[in-house]
């Protein structure tokens, strides 16, 4: 299971779902759309430990690019 929180200066968006390629692509689109309208963006993603490998496989590359572009990215396993 994953819980993502996208925060900007104007809004907070929560995304819940199973860790899957489809859900992570949907999350990427939400983040991209939020980044277009925000000066500063913070993304926190909570992932179950057993799904960390799948999460990294599907989201690792775009999360690194997002962080390099200036978004604060925090991934937490609990």
Backbone angle region of 34, left / alpha / beta, with phi > 0 → left and psi within -120 to 50 → alpha: alpha
Contact 31, 67 (CB under 8 A): no
Sign of CA dihedral 72, 64, 59, 40: positive
Reduced to 3 states (helix: H, G, I; strand: E, B; else coil), residue 1 is coil
Total-model pTM: 0.90
Domain boundaries, the chain: 41-78
- 18 vs 10: CA distance, rounded Å: 27
Distances, alpha carbon 73 to alpha carbons 18, 44, 46, in Å? 19, 6, 11
List pLDDT tens digits, range 51-67. 999 999 999 999 999 99
pLDDT beyond 90 at 37: no
């Amino acid at each position: 299971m994953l819980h993502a929180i996208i925060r900007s200066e104007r809004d907070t968006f929560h995304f819940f779902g199973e860790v899957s390629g489809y859900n992570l692509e949907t999350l990427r689109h939400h983040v991209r759309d939020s980044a277009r309208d925000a000066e500063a963006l913070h993304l926190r993603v909570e992932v179950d430990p057993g799904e960390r490998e799948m999460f990294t496989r599907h989201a690792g590359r775009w999360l690194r690019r997002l962080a390099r572009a200036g978004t604060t990215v925090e991934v937490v396993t609990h």
